[in-house]
Chains A and B, each alone.
Chain A
Amino acid sequence: MNDVILRLGAVEKHFGATAAVNGVTLEIARGEFFALLGPSGCGKTTLLRLIAGFEQPDAGRVVLDGADVAGVPANERPVNTVFQHYALFPHLIVAENVAFGLRYGKPKIENPKSSIEEILKLVRMEGLGARKPDQLSGGQKQRVALARALILHPKVLLLDEPLAALDVKLRKEMQVELKALQRRVGITFIFVTHDQEEALTLADRVAVMNLGKVEQVGTTEEVFERPRTKFVADFMGAVNFFDGFVVRPEKMRLHAAATPGAVEGKVESKVYQGETTRWLVRAADGKLLTAVEQNDGVSDAVSRLKSGDPVWVKWNKRHEVPMEEGRHA
């Protein structure tokens, strides 16, 4: 990677006896939309706070645009954060919230008033500058939080579960908006999420974290299609584990009649999910397999199967993803 904006070198952070972040090394490119993905307690939020400067690492280096910022407090780092619950100052109106950092920001802004209007326009909040935060909807608060951070032109924008506080419909809209916004401003976004679908939708690259360590880094497609460890495979929903490899459920094909090269089993249960149906099949050797079939009306014989009916499961050899040895979740 030639243009690295943020480099983490063997970063460690302990709280008492527990290692929240246990030797993380990462490189993030300028202009990238990067996701830190993992279950709660995996250390992703602590890592974000280490980058922001709210926490200082016990060991390792945090190099921001070529400068080691370990030990530099949050208020002196050219990095800004969009907080999970936005942390808008309830006693200040929207425009004052957005202007908050201008007073301290290193780059002196020539015409603060017009740049506030500009940034509010960018996040589609023009004309709402006089509102108080409690007069805003969840999505509007989100936009103000973005404007408040972006106006300072940070080298990296950190987002802590940026969409978790929104309802499903709004979340989908904001995903699109956030992605478009990131393309327009060209600033590096690093966001934390526990939602793999959100990570896949928004990010260019993902780091999957577990127990304070990075399990795998790669493009969204790589991590989804070629998980390297059992943990990543499992977290990404690839649940058909075999000896040394894993197969994603949507790569499994069901047949209502005996098929050469297929595994025979019985339907354990099926869950209709609208566009797809999720099948649980008990193989003859007792193993439980999961298959997801499109409800495209192609195979009526399969869709008529009921619990207890015999079924044959088949997959293509090239969809077997080998697992790394010795790394188990």
Chain B
Amino acid sequence: MLRAVSWLVYVFLYAPIAVLVVFSFNSERQTAVWQHFTLDWYRVLFRDKLIGHAVANSLVVGLVATVVATVIGTMAGLAMARHVFFGKRATRSLLYLPVIVPEIVVGAALVSLFGFIAMRLSLTTVILAHIAFSISYVALVVQARLTGFDWSLEEAAMDLGANRWQTFWRVTLPLIAPGVLAGALLVFTLSIDDYIITSFVAGPGATTLPLQIYSMVKTGVTPEINAVSTLLLVVTIGLIAAAQRLETSRR
């Protein structure tokens, strides 16, 4: 009984994804009746300039936001796990805020800020917004990774002659790398998936992939959307699989 219910839930979780992928190869355009296998929709996709542009924008935003947020967030995670400092409690609340506050509020607040300082909406504002909501995720993941960290390892490195910087590169970073990587991956997936916040702060020409997909979906279901969705699925699942393998091979 329990087993059957569980299997039903798994079917519920995966059937839509499977259907989506399968029908991206269906030659029939109007209905969901299988005709025959085709790669036409992928061809259409690769010739679509709007989608190409959106993918490029998403990659730029995702990569820049991930790199910046991972560096800053890792530093914050280290500070929270290792140090006692003035304002630590307040900083903990500050780090939780972006995770707690509804996305729609974050988007509205950011567009209020950009309006207030008369900053023109562009791809830059999208990048800034993504950095803002990403730092916390990295910091929290890294901090979690560091609970139970044996700090005497850092002291051992110093004791053996390494300075703070050498200790960080040779001991601390290699040991927390899986956490940092997990944080970076989470942030990258959140970034290339974000619709709500981006919809508030994207300027003209700064259409990202989710914005593009949303406007396509709004105008109607087409096999091209299946195709682009399939590609997005392959990329995200590929990234997770890679991160998983990295993490297990480290242990």
Contact = CB atoms under 8 A, between A and B. Distances in A.
A81 B161 contact: no
A104 B166 contact: yes
Contacts, number: 69
B116 to A, nearest CB: 44
A75 interface: yes
A148 B160 contact: yes
Q: Chain B interface secondary structure, helix, strand, loop or mixed?
A: helix
Contacts of A89: 153, 156-157, 171, 175
Given A90-B175, A100-B157, A75 B150 contact: no
Contact of A87 (B156, B161, B163, B174): B156
A91 interface: yes
Contacts of A81: 155-156, 159
Interface string A190-228: 000000000000000000000000000000000000000
Contacts of B161: 75-76, 101, 103-106, 152
A74 interface: yes
A104 B174 contact: no
B152 interface: yes
B83 to A, nearest CB: 15
Question: Range of interface residues on chain B?
Answer: 10 to 19
A104 B162 contact: yes
A83 B152 contact: yes
A261 B218 CA distance: 108
Interface string A140-159: 00000000110010000000
A74 B155 contact: yes
Contacts of B162: 75, 100-101, 103-104
Question: Range of interface residues on chain A?
Answer: 20 to 34
B158 interface: yes
Interface string B85-122: 00000000000000000000000000000000000000
B166 A87 contact: no
Contacts of B171: 89
Contacts of B150: 85, 87
A86 to B, nearest CB: 8
The 8 closest A-B pairs by CB, nearest first: A104-B161, A101-B160, A87-B156, A87-B152, A74-B158, A75-B158, A81-B159, A91-B174
Interface of B: 150, 152-153, 155-163, 166, 170-171, 174-175, 250
22 contacts: A52-B159, A73-B158, A73-B163, A74-B155, A75-B160, A80-B160, A83-B155, A85-B150, A85-B152, A87-B152, A87-B155, A87-B156, A88-B156, A89-B156, A89-B171, A90-B153, A90-B175, A100-B162, A101-B160, A104-B162, A104-B166, A106-B161
Given A75-B160, A84-B152, A100-B170, 8 more contacts: A75-B158, A75-B163, A85-B152, A87-B153, A90-B153, A90-B175, A104-B163, A105-B161
